[in-house]
Amino acid sequence: MREYSVPVLVDVPLSANCTDTVFQRAVDEPAAVVVRRKVGEDWTAITAAEFHAAVAGVAKGLIAAGIEPGDRVALMSRTRYEWTVADYAIWAAGGVGVPIYETSSAEQVKWILSDSGAKAAIVEAAGHEATVREAAPDLALVWNIDDGGLAALTESGAGVTDETLTERRTGRGGHDLATIIYTSGTTGMPKGCRITHDNLLFTGRNVAFGPLEDLFTVDGRAALLFLPLAHSFARMVQIVLLETGTVLAHTPNMKNVAPDLQGFKPTFLLGVPRVFEKVYNGAEQKATADGKGKIFHTAANVAIEYSKAEATGGAGLGLRLKHAAFDKLVYTKLRAATGGKLSAAVSGGSALGERLGHFFRGVGIEVFEGWGLTETSAPSTVNIPGANKVGTVGKPFPGVTVGIAEDGEILVKGRHIFDGYWNNEKATAEVIDSDGWFHTGDVGELDKDGYLKITGRKKEILVTAAGKNVAPAPLEDSIRAHRLISQVMVVGDDKPFIGALVTLDPEAMAQVTLTDEELQAEVQSAIDNANRMVSKAEQIKKFVILEHDITEETGHLTPSLKVKRNLVMRDFAKQIDELYGS
């Protein structure tokens, strides 16, 4: 088995817990700005002292309400300031946070509340409260943020002393459970991942003060979070931002990301590939609508060539001159659309795609791709400033070992590996072997320098009727990069050839006028481009365009925008059958 390890950089003491930095910074730097909260059109500063007071107030309220050490408290909300306050307050009270996606159905909420044994819930709005009460009618402790729930908690906890809070907060250490994160899962009921304080702090500090330190030491460092904080990826970045003193801001509504970027002016951004695809496609659509499509495509190609050249010895004079010209004409405007200060971003969740990675680096916004799972406290590998190998997900971060099994499965070891599945020892035993390796289910390759490349999911490998193994992910990632395409799912298990279900991006389609023949040709061009990457037996022979997009709202995507393959197969069985003439 091929392995690659990186030594531990920050040895976090097991006495530490996730609240330490919040409480200590209020003493050391009470006036330091830690969060900016949007009020109207202004971004109001929240100091370390004010943030500490908000966390402590809610924590005291939870203690007064009867929350004991180790009790589970559910948190169902969009990404907003109060989510972060509640998250740290649950920890400060000695509790265990159980995040729930705000889009979850009553059935999903019922499962999570029941399985976790949650004693209380903090929800954002009336709709969430109604869902929780339908899912768990006997749950007595429910606080609604929009209905003054956090203020009520703070008021009710006024009689809890600082000494009681300190005793409760410091009574939790690294080995104690910090959170149960339920995997959004593309199949079956979600499993609860037991994540300890040590898992989170070890990961956060070794990433923040190691490979990505340069991102969090720039002047005026600030980051805008808009991905769901119920997801382990965004949750870990929240911890990293507070640990490093990077100013944090939240955007609850994805539709407000563009104006919030311009108003808040972040230096750092967290996203999933679909976000970066939408940024590129949006810029392309606007340029085309303004009659500047040809200029944009030329500029994009120059940015990609420039990035590639810089990675292999440096661009020549001619390419540098072209790049400088397009920087004034095109790239400056793209950077201005992100607030003008953004120079770096981290992408995770699925493959970004080499072309897109080179494009953003070429325009001056370097995207560092990383990889991990909920079970690995989010990241296991990440690309770093000065050593960003586009097309890979980077090297293991300090304290992590990555191995490739004989069948290509990626195995991982380290203190960031979760403590097992809640109430599910059988499932835990299936993924953590006797040597301590966590079996990720992802398939990949390690190059000679220790960089990891993801090639697919072990369980998603399709086997055609002719016995050919096909990894759908690389094909799907390539096709989805087309400006008109929203989602794609490759099919072909036990079939005579590989096919694809394709959906169109409603926003992109609103910008163009195409005949059916022209639309078919556009999609076929994306298919042809993807087919160039694989052997003839792996190529997509036929495709069908679905009438409607598949989204999180339709139940076909997870909150991290991964396709729920089993549900798509079920709901579009007729279209799949038609592909194969049955």
Cβ atoms of 254 and 271 closer than 8 Å: no
Q: Which of 561, 527, 518, 523 is nearest to 545 (CA)?
A: 523
Q: How far apart are CA 519 and CA 200, in angstroms?
A: 47
Q: How far apart are CA 383 and CA 380, in angstroms?
A: 11
Q: Which of 23, 25, 115, 34 is nearest to 81 (CA)?
A: 34
How many Cβ atoms sit within 10 Å of the Cβ of residue 524? 12
Specify the pTM: 0.86
pLDDT, position 185? 54
Residues 6+ apart with CB under 8 A from 212: 240, 346, 368, 382, 384, 385
Q: Which of 213, 196, 230 is nearest to 415 (CA)?
A: 196
Backbone angles phi, psi at 224, to 5 degrees: -105, 120
Two tokens at 34?
A: 């830690």
Cβ atoms of 370 and 453 closer than 8 Å: no
pLDDT, position 168? 98
Task: List beta partners, residue 283.
Answer: none
How many Cβ atoms sit within 10 Å of the Cβ of residue 83? 27
Q: How far apart are CA 98 and CA 122, in angstroms?
A: 10
Q: How far apart are CA 219 and CA 489, in angstroms?
A: 43
Strand ranges across the sheet with 2-5: 2-5, 400-404, 409-414, 438-446, 452-457
Residues 6+ apart with CB under 8 A from 357: 307, 367, 369, 390, 391
HEC states along 468-518? Answer: CEECHHHHHHHHHCCCCEEEEEEECCCCCCEEEEEEECHHHHCCCCCCHHH
- Tokens 């194969």 locate to 580
pLDDT, position 186? 47
Residues 6+ apart with CB under 8 A from 286: none
Would you say residue 507 lies in a domain?
yes
10-residue mean pLDDT series, the chain (582 residues)? 95 97 98 96 97 98 98 98 98 98 89 97 97 96 98 98 98 98 71 97 95 87 94 95 96 89 94 85 87 94 96 93 96 93 89 90 96 96 94 96 95 98 95 96 94 86 80 88 93 91 92 92 95 86 94 85 86 92 73
374 SS3 class: helix
Cβ atoms of 74 and 101 closer than 8 Å: no
How many Cβ atoms sit within 10 Å of the Cβ of residue 62? 29
Domain with 523, as residue range(s), is: 462-580
Domain of 473: which CATH number? 3.30.300.30
How many degrees, rounded to 5, is the angle at CA 126 between CA 125 and CA 128? 70
Two tokens at 566?
A: 């089993």
Backbone angles phi, psi at 368, to 5 degrees: -100, 110
Residues 6+ apart with CB under 8 A from 502: 479, 485, 487, 488, 523, 543, 544, 545, 546
Domain count, the chain: 1
pLDDT, position 553? 87
Q: How far apart are CA 557 and CA 273, in angstroms?
A: 14
Helices 472-480 and 516-531, interaxial angle, to 10°? 130
Q: How far apart are CA 74 and CA 261, in angstroms?
A: 30
Cβ atoms of 330 and 292 closer than 8 Å: no
Would you say residue 309 lies in a domain?
no
217 SS3 class: coil
How many Cβ atoms sit within 10 Å of the Cβ of residue 13? 10
